[in-house]
Each structure stands twice: as C-alpha cells, then as structure tokens.
C-alpha cells in the first residue's frame, strides 16, 4: 500500500465492504463547475458546524466534489439524509441535474474515459483555478495527492451528532438531488421523515430498512 492508498483508507475506508455503513460522504456539483457555489458547502460546514475542512476534488469531467470523512462508520441511510440536509442548507435553488450525493464515490484520482482527463484532489487555495477546466490533463502525483490528504481530519462522532441536531428538519424548498441511491429525501421532509419512509418501504432492501431504523435512534 502506497502513501496515497493509506490516506484514502485512513479517511474514507474505501474497501468495497458493506454498503449499509459508511465513513465517506461526497457532495458533487457540476454541469458546469461552480466554485463559488460549492465553496459555500466547504466553508459552511467549518464555520457553522465546527467540522474539519473536507477534501476538495475536481471530477475530471465537469464539476467539483467535497469529500467528508467520518471518524466512525454511520448508517448509509443516515449519511445520505444528512447530505440532503447539507444540500438544502447550502445549495438552495441549484438545478437537480447538477448535484450528486453519494457514499460510494468513484475513486480519485482516476482517468476519466469520456474526456481523457484526470480527477484529482486539489488544494483549497487552488480550487478556484479549476472552475473552467475541472480536471488535470496529466496524472497527478500520488505523493502530491497524499500530501493534500494527510493534512485532513475526520469528523468525530460527537461533532456529527451535534450537526444532525443543529440542522434539524429540511424545510427549505429546493430541487431533488440525484444520487446513487434509489430513494432520496424530499425537500419538504426532514432526515427523520426520510428515514421513516425508507424503513417502512417494502420495496427497499431489508438490510437498508434495518439500518434506517438504527439511524432513527438519535431522533427518538
């Protein structure tokens, strides 16, 4: 395992394991890339929630990504509901087809076949430079990528729980975000009501319904 792989494992535990728990949350904005908008998420979680700075990546195609690292695994359904709460709070009015929320992101850095360019993690002070060209046209240095990630910390369990309580109900109207899950929270529902819907939906895989039930415990 090289340094970059070690840092990715330390922060996000991307090992292809169980999908009902996650340490990784990614919010992406593209079509086109918009640093001014996505920076509100990056800055907001630090200023409002007291979280450590998340990683910033360019997709290699048309957008930015903000990567959140959780110190301890959380139920995937809860993480997805929380990403939706962040989207509503910091990206109101953004078109649905420009936003992606996921706990199972594609690997970064990686060659993007459609464009021939590379996704990569980027430093916050350089992120605005990629607004017109959110990619690298050559492979990024693994050591350079590891250097960026080694400065980052994970969100502690207590800080994540406080953020859940602080964000509260999702009440601001906004378009539904697309994601890698078959169900997403409506913009008029709270994370709690979304989790209740998942738990009670007979079409959802049983393991995810069980995890949704577990994720409801902080709200009870």
Rg (the chain; Cα; Å): 17
Condensed to tens digits (0 to 9), the pLDDT of residues 113-152 reads 989 999 999 999 999 999 999 999 999 999 999 999 999 9
**Residue 26, strand partner residues:** 67, 102
Higher pLDDT, 187 or 12: 12
Predicted pLDDT at 184: 40
Condensed to tens digits (0 to 9), the pLDDT of residues 170-186 reads 433 333 334 443 334 43
Domain locations along the chain? 3-219
Which DSSP letter does residue 137 get? S
Q: Is the pLDDT of residue 96 over 90?
A: no
Whats the size of the chain, residue-wise?
220
At residue 157 the predicted structure's pLDDT band, cuts being 50, 70 and 90, is: very high
What average pLDDT does the structure give for the chain? Answer: 85
Predicted pLDDT at 167: 84
DSSP for 40-93 reads HHHHHHHHHH-PPPPEEEE-SSSEEEEEEEEEEEEEHHHHHHHHHHHHHHH-TT
Higher pLDDT, 121 or 20: 121
Higher pLDDT, 17 or 112: 112
Q: Is the pLDDT of residue 8 over 90?
A: yes
Q: Is the pLDDT of residue 165 over 80?
A: yes
Using DSSP bridges, classify how beta strands 99-102 and 21-30 pair: parallel, antiparallel or unpaired: antiparallel
Average pLDDT for 86-101: 94
Predicted pLDDT at 200: 73
pTM for this prediction: 0.78
């Amino acid at each position: 395992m090289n340094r970059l792989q070690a840092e990715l494992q330390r922060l996000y535990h991307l090992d292809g394991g169980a999908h009902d728990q996650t340490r990784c949350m990614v919010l992406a904005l593209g079509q086109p890339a918009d640093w001014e908008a996505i920076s509100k998420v990056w800055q907001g979680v630090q200023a409002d929630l007291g979280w450590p700075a998340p990683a910033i990546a360019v997709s290699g195609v048309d957008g930015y990504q903000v990567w959140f690292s959780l110190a301890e695994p959380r139920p995937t359904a809860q993480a997805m509901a929380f990403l939706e709460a962040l989207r509503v709070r910091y990206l109101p009015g953004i078109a649905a087809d420009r936003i992606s929320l996921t706990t199972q992101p594609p690997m970064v850095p990686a060659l993007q076949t459609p464009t021939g360019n590379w996704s990569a993690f980027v430093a916050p002070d350089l992120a605005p430079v990629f607004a017109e060209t959110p990619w690298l046209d050559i492979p990024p240095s693994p050591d350079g990528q590891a250097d960026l990630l080694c400065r980052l910390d994970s969100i502690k369990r207590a800080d994540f729980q406080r953020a859940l309580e602080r964000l509260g109900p999702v009440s601001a109207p906004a378009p539904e975000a697309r994601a890698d899950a078959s169900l997403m929270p409506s913009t008029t529902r709270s994370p709690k009501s979304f989790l209740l819907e998942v738990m009670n939906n007979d079409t959802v895989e049983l393991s995810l319904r069980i995890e949704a039930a577990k994720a409801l415990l902080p709200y009870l």
